[in-house]
Structure 1
């Protein structure tokens, strides 16, 4: 009995090996003859696809900037003096020539009266000297002194008149006055800021563009302006000046545009986003945005080739209205997977269950 035991164990092991090998052997042979797939054979993944189409891409130039008043000035006094009164309300619209501030002019008026009296005396002396000179009763030197004194008095009168006029500060242009920095009765020196005057029925926008955009911009060109403070609206401006100098530090062009602001909705200082329509177009490939598979900071698409999904790395461009532009890694006419990518691996067999239309070509 002990001699038979090793023989029985060997038979059991051999039988187990035969059973283990059976699925890859006889069962596989039977499955092949019957046309059925074995569990080990991969199942095709159902996917939806769309064609990649050729499109003309017009690259816009984008920048940021701040709105500025069309004209802006800091109202200040040209002489030292005490503020007598303000002739405006803060935030009020004024016209060019409107009086804004009056300074105490009592001393200036007295000086003007004195200058007038001296002028009248000098004029009378000159006339008397002219008469006496004609009669030969006055020397030429005395006559010349009388004439010179008249000119001096005339200049002094003009100076006193101008000095008096400086006590009234007027608006240099139409605009809106800001918040004043002084009160009535305050003493101001020459150049002391009193209030700002801003012309905002038109606004300026300064922004920068890369030097490579030089051939794509010109004066008179329209730009689109978006302001974060007014969401959902766009405004049109027009380039009217380009600096002749390029910023050598940032390799940038300084550009200035002007835009209408008839309802005074926009204000100087607001942050603005500027879009300049590009003039150069190039051919790109466009696919539905759903075809893009992001992974590890990169983008991929699955292209159908011979019934299988082939993974392709792509470089993306502009996204708009559910369409994305592919700058490299894909050719026009390729069929890409737009639904079912999560179940795919590179080279996996696929079954196309639906073909959707490709993106609409972008009009240049």
Structure 2
């Protein structure tokens, strides 16, 4: 009997210990959410971001646009006469001066006709002098003298035509340049009006650019601009605006031609790309925001602005891009803090904690 009582007491004590452990665990679990709430209330759930201030700085307007290089002058050369090609002096890649012979066509008959016309004209010219003397002496009437004058003028015209025909057998360079193509060979029959060669003048080159309407005011005929190219890194050339179109295209751009001297070891060639640079003359104050603050496309710019520990999504009016900044035309003001890092986790009105604040550019 005594042993049974002892065993019963042991079981009761064990049961009490187990119940104490169970209720103790439940109590700890019930206290844990309160701890989390306390941590949350201390701001651990705020999103870490980096910010920078919208600033006002002195800038100089600049603009660059890529254009295509074209020869200052180029031309297809056509034969004005027909015949067999007797001589070829137009090798591709060879420089020719204005008036140099490129092709000589068979001109034997043309030379004979020219000589015959010249002799006939000289004879008529002498006849005019003879009739003039006879008329002054009263030996011939005025009508006979005038008829002889007319014959002399007709002979002169025939001589001019024959000379032109003979001269057309010599195909010459219209201006100084380099022959780039030749389309006929020696011994080939050439017809009148047939294209025989192509020549380009690269002493000067034209850079053709198409300028947006908001920038066209910068380009004035006669103004000087800088030109550069990726093919000649670190080198700058000076060009002159030679023409500005008065009418825009369908894309609201204007054709502008910039001419520059070409030569030396860094000569431009037709078809190359070049960049035309335009810079304003005077500095001006501009409101700037870091380019990295932009969270949407430039067509509909938005950024996060910081107010009382929260980030608010705000649209703004953007101007031109200046180095790593964007010009602000409206929507935010100098001194405003904007988020420049951590935007991917933000939403409108999100709580934030600033972990880094960039210095704004010095204001003049």
Q: Look up the match of 1:284.
A: 287
C-alpha change, 1:327 and 1:114, in structure 2 (3 Å) is same
Q: Which residue of 1 aligns with 2:154?
A: 152
Which secondary structure does the structure 1 equivalent of 2:181 belong to? coil
What is the alpha-carbon distance in structure 2 between the residues aligned to residue 184 and residue 159 of structure 1? 26
Aligned residues: 341
How far off is 1:107 after superposition?
0.9
**Alignment map for 1:30-179 (pairs within 5 Å):** 38=39, 41-43=42-44, 49-56=51-58, 60-61=62-63, 63-123=65-125, 125-126=127-128, 129=131, 143-179=145-181
TM-score of the pair, normalised by structure 2: 0.72
Give the distance between the partners of 1:309 and 1:234, measured in 2 at CA.
48
Whole-angstrom distance in 2 between the partners of 1:131 and 1:189: 48
Structure 1 position 207 matched with structure 2 position 213: no
TM-score where L is the length of structure 1: 0.72
Question: In 2 relative to 1, CA 148–310 (structure 1 residues): closer, same or farther, beyond 3 Å?
Answer: closer
Name the CA distance, whole Å, in 1 between partners of 2:118 and 2:33: 126
Is the 2:95–2:177 Cα contact (8 Å) retained in structure 1? yes
Q: Distance in 2 between matches of 1:302 and 1:127?
A: 100
Cα distance in 2 between the residues matched to 1:215 and 1:50: 34
Secondary structure of 1:358's partner? coil
1:144 CA displacement: 4.7
* Structure 2: gaps spanning 5 or more residues: 1-20
Cα 1:53–1:114 change in 2 (3 A) is same
Give the secondary structure class of the aligned counterpart of 2:187.
Answer: coil
2:6 paired residue number: none
How far residue 136 of structure 1 moved from its aligned partner, in angstroms, is 6.4
RMSD: 4.3
More divergent stretch after superposition (60-69 vs 291-300): 291-300
8 Å Cα contact 1:285-1:327 kept in structure 2: no
Cα contact 2:311–2:346 (8 A) shared by 1? no
1:247 maps onto 2:248 in alignment:
yes
Residues 236 and 259 in structure 1, CA contact (< 8 A), matched pair in contact too: yes
CA distance 1:163–1:68, shift in 2 (3 Å):
same
Shift, 1:85, TM fit: 1.5
Q: Kindly indicate whether the alpha-carbon contact (under 8 Å) linking 2:293 and 2:341 is maintained by their aligned counterparts in 1.
A: no
Q: Do the aligned partners of residues 240 and 129 (structure 1) sit closer, same or farther apart at CA in structure 2, a change above 3 Å counting?
A: closer
Q: Is the 8 A contact 1:285 1:331 kept in 2?
A: no
Compute the displacement of 1:328 (Å). Answer: 4.7
Inter-CA distance 356–71: structure 2 relative to 1 (3 Å threshold): same
Contact kept, 8 Å, 1:93 with 1:174, in 2: the verdict is yes
1:129-158 C-alpha deviation (Å, 9 max, x unpaired): 556666766566555544443333333223
Q: 1:182 to 1:133 in 2, by over 3 A?
A: same
* CA pair 329-132 structure 1, distance change in 2 beyond 3 A: closer
SS at match of 1:199: strand
Cα distance between partner residues in 2 of 1:208 and 1:232: 24
